[in-house]
Chain A
């Protein structure tokens, strides 16, 4: 069965410095992977997705993620943090080969931006 582990529950970075949010997955086959963002009291917004095309995926708001099969990782990065990036981020896996189409979320990483 597929699963996803977000290694940090909280990450704090200073404004203007790089962001790294870590995610490792487990899947029987080649998974589809996603990152979502949830701002306080807001709904969930898709940042980017990987579906077996290019391994480096660019998303909205300057975020990108790289699929590394050898490391079973899909870490989210951004070169320069902005105050508006403060939110909770979820790594998500689904398994396109299985017929049950389950979509599994990680426990989330809360990103804090320091002025």
Chain B
């Protein structure tokens, strides 16, 4: 069966420090991969999505970037964190090319920038 791993679960980082959140999926190939951010009262905002290795689409201009170095690996990064980057980050996958399947979520990373 398919599983998705996201780590770390919680993270406290100082302003200006770098960030790397990692997400891996097991049990499927060529998934669509997503990074969402959940801020209080704002729902889940789609940050990045990827339909294949090296293919990244950015939904909103921001201080973050994403990379997909392997088929089932999706990394969220920042060179210098801002206070406004605090939030709950969720990685998700869906079946690639199907277009009508739901997203399956990791457990999320609670990021606090201090």
Q: Which residues of A does B touch, CB under 8 Å? A: 6, 9, 32, 34, 43-44, 46, 49, 51-52, 90, 92, 94-108
Q: Looking at chain A's contact residues, is the secondary structure mostly helix, strand, loop, or mixed? A: loop
Within 25-77 of B, Cβ neighbours of A (below 8 Å) are at 32, 34, 36, 41-46, 49, 51, 57, 59
Asked if B46 and A107 sit within 8 Å, CB to CB, the answer is: no
A105, closest chain B residue (CB): B44
B96, closest chain A residue (CB): A101
Chain A nearest CB from B36 CB (Å) reads 7
Known: A90-B44, A99-B51, A103-B34. 18 other contacts (CB 8 A): A32-B100, A43-B106, A43-B107, A92-B102, A94-B100, A95-B99, A99-B99, A100-B49, A101-B49, A101-B97, A102-B46, A102-B57, A103-B92, A105-B36, A105-B43, A105-B44, A105-B46, A107-B41
Q: Which residues of B does A touch, CB under 8 Å? A: 32, 34, 36, 41-46, 49, 51, 57, 59, 90, 92, 94, 96-103, 105-108
Give the CA-CA distance A90 to B105 in the complex, in Å: 13
Chain A nearest CB from B56 CB (Å) reads 12
Chain B nearest CB from A110 CB (Å) reads 9
- The contact sample of 6 A-B pairs, CB cut-off 8 A, is A32-B99, A43-B108, A51-B100, A101-B51, A107-B42, A108-B43
